[in-house]
Amino acid sequence: MPLINAEKEAAQISVYEPVLITGLFQTEEYARLVFSHGLQRDKLDELVAIRMERQAVLTAPNAPMVFLLIRESALCDVPSEVRLGQCKRLLELAELPNISIQVLPACAYVFQPTGFQILTLERSADVAYIEGTGRNGQMLTDVTAVQNLTVLFNVARSEALSATESAALIRTIMEGT
């Protein structure tokens, strides 16, 4: 099952992101920067459009509960020309009742270098998606692998700031732009 389909079927999505703002939370400007290297203009526009369309799942009538766990460094590394808009977007999404954003502070001892998502599906077993280099991510359906990532997510989340503290940190990073 492709990630886009799994997101539409998910009752809950748990996202760990150590390097980038995850696709479901990106502004168009940030997505353009992420996709801009090595792509032809028409392909870039297509990929950005798909990324923006995917975000409709966050506000759909049956929107999943989404838990975003993001490293502080990923926020600080947002290029200055898009940081203000991207931080505003995160703060707006954090206001939605189905979205929780927590930041792993720089001092947190979590050493998972690859982003991943765990998708709790209503009609089938949970699945996971692991980021890959060159946009070559991989869906996992093995129950043990998905359970291991769930444990890893929960352990990492225990090191994160609260949602309120995270919003304050995002505001601080935004105001430092």
CATH number for position 18 = 3.30.870.10
Give a yes or no: residue 15 inside a domain: yes
Give a yes or no: residue 141 inside a domain: yes
Are the beta carbons of 13 and 146 closer than 8 angstroms? no
**pLDDT tens per residue across span 98-129:** 999 999 999 998 888 899 999 999 889 999 99
Q: Which of 31-45, 113-127, 134-148 has the lowest mean pLDDT?
A: 31-45
Domains held by the chain: number:
1
Q: Which domain holds residue 71?
A: 3-22+64-175
Give a yes or no: residue 17 inside a domain: yes
Q: pTM of the prediction?
A: 0.92
Are the beta carbons of 65 and 10 closer than 8 angstroms? no
Tokens standing for residue 74: 């990923």
Give a yes or no: residue 32 inside a domain: no
